[in-house]
Structure 1
Amino acid sequence: MKQLIKWSLLGVFLLLISACGEEVSVSSEEIFSNIIETDDQPISYYGEGKITVYQDDGVSESILFTEYAGTNGEKKMITIEEKSGIKSTAVINQDILVNYQEGSETAQQIDLTGTESPLTFTQKEQFSNMLDMMQDSHSLEMMGEEEVMELDTYHIKLTADSKSSLLGDMEFWVDQKTWFIVKANSASGEIRTETEYTTIEFNPSFEEDTFTLDLPEGVEMEALDDNIPEPGTIEEAVEALGADFLVIDEEQQQLDRIEIHEFDGELNRTEVTLYYVNEEIPSFSVSVFPTPQGEGMELNNDAQLRGLNAELMEEIRNISWDEQGLRYSVMIDHPDITMEEIKKILEKMKLSSEL
């Protein structure tokens, strides 16, 4: 799973680009125009680069990566942790992601069919998806046009409006023709991350076996998407969690469905998710599970809700809090619903046994 997380982090870097608010040698209107005119097709490329993570003024992690990307959505990434020498390989082919860490007895497989994973987005899709996501949490500034690796790039800076921002401050150097990010820096709290390509070749020729992964003999394949959630009722959700939990009165918001998910592996928990709609349009979801224990499982406590400490992640429009042994995590889906409106609804939640 660790390699999947790292690839996801790189996917975040491939997502975090947006418009600019200040004119330099190119205006924000010109950038939007260029986005619209860009051909929305997957880019075929070969790339090499390095991710360096700094903490407390020192290097805490350094990862070398090699990427292959075809025009039909197939991708391959090989990473090597410089300190440990651990090598991992992940491949996407025909909507199936397979990940293997050298020396492991198992490999992981995920079916991406029908999902909206950042790993499957085109460069243009990555760009446009971030326009809405970042506009309320970061100040955007166009720093200029710079040449990076013989590519003409836009240098874009995003400054977080809040010091507790999950994503922090970011800078990107984006190829003007393809919207490919050739360099990215981010800083959040005491952690600073630099991602930079050292080699990029567009439209290369790949060998037929490039997007395959030959596993060593004896390695077992673990399907991470085997745990399909089961539909349920409030009563069945209470039984699954082993505790009564807070719900929203349907006079305030219509409950569309309930899913009960039994997670294995690292999560190893029962999780209940309630999906709410307004006139059949998804509004938000509430996930409930036992409060996680252990190092790094605590919330940031940068907000208040229901008289308790809560964690607010404005970039993904999520708020979480712990109450009576359960953690509640609310994700807003509808673009017109504000966090303040959600908070007012959550303040009126009651135990299901009281409704």
Structure 2
Amino acid sequence: MSNSFPTNTSLSELHLTGIPGLQHLHLWISIPFCIMYLVTLVGNCTLLCVIKADPSLHLPMFLFLSMLAVIDLVMSTSITPKMLGIFWFHSTTISLGACLTQMYFVHAFSAMESGVLVAMAFDRYVAICHPLRYLSVLTGPIVVVIGLATLLRAVVCMTPITSQIRHLPLCGPAIVDHSYCEHMAVLRLSCEDAAFISTYTLSISTCVVSFDSLLIAVSYALILRAVLSLSSPQACRKALGTCSSHLCIMALYYIPGLLSVYMERHHQELPPHIQVLLADLYLLIPPAFNPLIYGIRTKQIRDGARRVISRRRPMAGGIGSGLQGPRLGLMKTKAIP
């Protein structure tokens, strides 16, 4: 397999193999990957446009959702175009600088997505358990602080990973057995013992996911306790429906992510194509499903999209005044979608 790629002892550039052992199926594999990427682009861009255009959606819940959409767009775009280039045009070459940049984006934005999921769980906790205090607790400045804290944590935790690999001597052949620059796959090119970097990456990933998962679990446990005490069965079903969809997408994000990290560390235990496919789907599925689960299933988003569409039609007079009704309704229910 390695003979089909040039060796490069200086390692100014690397060569991605795609999905090891399944190169003959690259064209077929590219179809669902391309569809997921298109859904990611269309879904998240639509979500951002609707939230921006409708003033009634300028609430903390939807601001966090906007952050998630931007993160998903950046994370997916950082790997998918190159991946499709490998599948369609056999464009396996990537410069070392581009490889490290791609690696940094994957790590940093994965950590940011985890932080935003925690923020969204806290948002749901306040909205359901303390509805009268919702807008006083999650003010605009607080939302900004949460967003900046999520960004800062990602930078502080993930920058050392890329920095250490940048200063690590790498040996040829410059072949990365992966469809993107996954850090463990790149570390296997090291001329020196990279155990410290590997352990650091595993520890940081485990700590971030464990800490965030614990906060999310506590938030939803408190939500569940509050929901079960509701006297209205309809309100109970509504809240449970919202929380269940959120929990599904969180499980879809965290479980494959941890499996991917640990399987890359102990790569001898599974066929390479299983590891690579799992790592790919971990980065491709959540960005495609997030706008569908958080957007289409959220009534306020659907109503906002209808208002935006109707506002652009001729003879759509009076739409501006009609926004106050939905906005007041949101303020009363405190955004339980």
| TM-score, normalised with respect to structure 2 | 0.23
Greater relative CO (CA pairs within 8 A, separation 6+)? 2
> Greater strand share, 1 or 2?
1
| TM-score, normalised with respect to structure 1 | 0.22
> Greater helix share, 1 or 2?
2
